[in-house]
Structure 1
Amino acid sequence: MTPQNPLDTIRRLSAAVLAVSRHLATDEVLQTIVATARELIGAEYAALGIPDGAGSFAQFLVDGVSDEQWAAIGPLPRQHGMLAVMLQDPAPQRLPDIREDPRFGWWPKAHPQLDAFLGLQIRDDDEILGAIFLANKPGGFTADDEELLGVLAGHAAIALRHARLYERERELAITRERNRLARELHDAVAQKLFALRLTSQAAADLLRRDPERAHAELDQVAALAREAAEELRSVVVELRPAELEEDGLAVTLRKHVEVLDRVNLTAGGPRVRFEGADVKALSPAAEEVLLRVAQEALHNALRHAGATTIIVKLAEHCPAGTGACGGALLEVADDGAGFDPAAVRRAGRSLGLVSMRDRAKSVRGRLDVASAPGQGTTIRLEVDRGRAA
């Protein structure tokens, strides 16, 4: 039902507009716009479609349809009937009954029955980004409804434009990171591998005629191999988590650990293992902090611990005594030499702990370091879902 209080209308419209400016995920913004349009204008159903360029829709968001109904309807619609009209004809489509329009096509058996209809294009200058439509308002839609829906369609266009710009920036960032990584590999690793190849060839030539010199060359081969592995490990640790948004925290962490484990295996270093599953409903900032703290802790363990095994664990955070779970718990534990945290502070060394604590504070998390000489080290980070939001 359309709100009677004008202030209520302004508040709801303001919430939809603010959703665009708060840099929420594009799906969240568009879903807010669809729900707001349905509620403000008093329609039974609302939907917003983004074409995929191949005759169907890349996204199709609805409001007023239950999950069971949506599942029964089946695959996303293709561009036929009035959906095709809205993507081709710039004129608003305001109809007393969609079923009586000669351009109406059909809908699946489980589709809700529509009558009164209002649809508008979502445009960015001359480019058609999608379409938004409402259906089933008692008494039909008015010119005022059309104007209000036009405002919301304009904000949907802003959200989609922001999403495109973000994706372009992300692609540029990935390209820049790949170029940086290529330079790092060439400058730091490739040169050592070249020296390694020359030294191993020299050792092979000396093996028969001067075994003693060959032995010295082989010692140099081993040293170069360790240095190359260390350089490669450093590059991997610093690699930007471009896949975090797509793969999620657990998959990204697992991939990172697997790469480090392969690098260490070839160099005779410690085994690196990952245990855990994805943690839901964390903010992007919290996910990046968890990943960066894990990377820093791994870097410390690989460089300083002298461990045989390093285990990275990720789980949902379930504080003792609360009976509830939410947020994330990260642990990076090694069985290495350990250290005295107090002595490290007194000596003015940080081992990256200051950076990790600062990252944890940025999402109101709690970082604990448990270590003692000869007893290994465990870095533990707790991030509560509500505190980190």
Structure 2
Amino acid sequence: MRAVSAAVLAVTAHRSVHDVLRTILTSARKLVGARYAALGIPDGAGGFAEFIADGVTDEQWSAIGPLPRTHGLLGQLLREPHPIRLADIRAHPNFRWWPAAHPDLTDFLGVPILDGDEFVGELFLANSCHEGGFTADDEELMRLLGAHAAIAIVNARLYERARELSIMEERNRIARELHDAVTQKLFSLRLTVDAAAALLERDPARAATELATVRRLAGAATEELRAIVDGQRPADLAGDGLDIALRKQAELLDRVHTATVSYTACDCVPTLTEARQRAVYRVAQEATHNALRHADATRVAVRMVVHNGSVELTVSDDGSGFDPRSAHGAGRRLGLASMRERARATGGVLTVRSEPGAGTTVRLVVPTGG
């Protein structure tokens, strides 16, 4: 029982499916004393998604050739929920053959690995190291290990899937943050560089001022990238708070772009969670960026007010407008999706009112407090 307990603990200690399978196999072979052991996970198409063996060398494994199929005796273990114990595997009616380089097998013990009614895999051992072959006690041990193996395999699969989802979510977060923050700053940076280049010969003093703005924008972009990688709140927001950060953003864009960008807010400072502050800030960034880059707006007005337990952000422009139901361009589609996702994730409501030739108004309402 101590050996079984140690085997179960070893199996459940792993989170990788491959590590779980390998530990099940070596534990089983050690528990009953077998010369050979193998474990297969079916792929649902007549083959094995994974098949590992213990007791053969790498050279022997290579010489054996392709993985077996789920037919014959191996197939029976994936159809019937009962162990199979034989004094000679070749005497079983479902035994077929093995490749020329395959080790000669005699006595055999195979158990299905079941998760409820689902056949998760199969474990089998051959050529007992003890006189008389495999016993009923060996069979019971393997049945017990197989039950724990099923739990460990299912848990390892769930862990790997959760990890994959976490990685996807993080990739999506970084893509959204890059689009919402850094793209805008790089766009402004490019315009400022163009302006500095145009002024360099005829007005060096103004060119120097523009280059100072370039340095500031480059520094801000660097800070944004660092915050994105670290998963932190936006650099401006972390240092100044929401109201001042929005004001500074509007002043910078007004300075860099030909369009007039203004910001107004009520006197009261909104009480928002960090996630909601970040959502308001990023939506303001994205909506303003869309107006300047895609809509050729001459005026962009950013406004934030607090009333009825909510913070309301509106970004209005007098640009070319568009049909929100069929937004064209990858950047605009991603931007709209990003704003809607930010609103949804923080319990807010986002509306976009626009039509070709009539400008655009983006409105975000998020609740205050916790």
Smaller-chain TM-score bracket: 0.5 to 0.7
In structure 1, what is the Cα distance between the partners aligned to 2:212 and 2:91? 86
Q: Distance in 1 between matches of 2:22 and 2:215?
A: 58
Q: What amino acid sits opposite 1:144 in the alignment?
A: D
1:345-384 CA-partner distances (Å, limit 9, x unpaired): xxxxxxxxxxxxxxxxxxxxxxxxxxxxxxxxxxxxxxxx
**Secondary structure of the corresponding residue to residue 44 of structure 1:** strand
- The answer as to 2:17 corresponding to 1:11 is no
Q: Cα 1:205–1:58, aligned 2, differ >3 Å: closer, same or farther?
A: same
Deviation (angstroms), 1:69: 2.7
Deviation per residue, 1:70-124 (Å, 9 max, x gap): 3332343333322222223333323332223232222111111112222121111
Alignment partners' CA distance in 2, 1:85 and 1:127:
14
Residues 174-226 of structure 1 deviation map (CA, whole Å, 9 limit, x = unaligned): 13312332343245423312322342454466568756434432442243234
Matching residue within 45, 49, 52 for 1:58: 49
Classify the secondary structure of the residue corresponding to 2:138.
helix
2:109 is aligned with what amino acid?
Answer: L
Q: Any idea what SS the aligned residue of 2:78 has?
A: helix
2:79 pairs with 1:98? no
Please, which of 145, 154, 159 is the counterpart of residue 138 of structure 2? 145
**1:220 aligned residue:** 213
TM-superposition CA deviations, 1:209-246 (whole Å, max 9, x none): 7564344324422432343234324534x379xxxxxx
**Structure 1 residue 24: deviation in Å?**
6.0
Match in the other structure for 1:383? none
Match of 1:110 among 81, 101, 108: 101
Q: How does 1:337-356 map to 2 (within 5 A)?
A: none
Work out whether 1:30 is the aligned partner of 2:11.
no
Q: 1:157 aligns with which of 122, 128, 150?
A: 150
Residue identity in the other structure for 1:164 = R
Structure-2 change in CA distance of 1:25 and 1:143 (3 Å): same
Give secondary structure in 1 for the equivalent of 2:38: strand
Paired residues of 1:46 and 1:64 also in contact (CA < 8 A): yes
Task: Supply the distance in 2 between the matched residues of 1:81 and 1:153 (Cα, whole angstroms).
Answer: 21
Q: Secondary structure at 1:185's aligned position in 2?
A: helix
CA distance in 2, matches of 1:165, 1:135: 31
Higher relative CO (Cα under 8 Å, sequence separation at least 6) belongs to: 2
CA–CA distance in structure 1, aligned partners of residues 201 and 6 of structure 2: 81
| 1:41 counterpart residue number | 32
Match of 2:91, as an amino acid?
Answer: E
- Residue identity (%): 63
Deviation at 1:155, TM superposition (A): 1.5
Q: Which has the greater radius of gyration?
A: 2
Q: In the alignment, which residue of structure 2 is the partner of 1:290?
A: none
1:57-96 residue pairs with structure 2 within 5 A? 57-96=48-87
Contact 1:16/1:29, CA 8 A, preserved across alignment: no
Aligned equivalents of 1:172 and 1:102: distance in 2? 46
Please, which runs of 5 or more residues in structure 1 have no aligned partner?
1-9, 241-389
Separation (CA, whole Å) in 1 of partners of 2:214 and 2:30: 72
- Asked whether 1:168 is paired with 2:164, we answer no
1:89 and 1:182, CA in 2 relative to 1: closer, same or farther beyond 3 A?
same
CA distance in 2, matches of 1:169, 1:23: 15
User: Does 1:119 pair with 2:83?
Assistant: no
Cα offsets for 1:8-42 (capped at 9, x unmatched): xx221111011134336544443333233233334
What residue identity is the alignment partner of 1:224?
L
- 8 Å contact 1:81–1:106 — kept in the other structure? no
Q: Is the 8 A contact 2:64 2:102 kept in 1?
A: yes
- What secondary structure sits across from 2:122 in the alignment? strand
Q: TM-score, normalised by structure 2?
A: 0.54
Q: Residues of 1 paired with 2:215 and 2:69: CA distance?
A: 62
Q: Is the 8 A contact 2:16 2:160 kept in 1?
A: no
Task: Evaluate the alpha carbon distance shift between residue 26 and residue 167 of structure 1 in structure 2; reply closer, same or farther with a 3 A threshold.
Answer: closer
Q: Is 1:179 aligned with 2:172?
A: yes
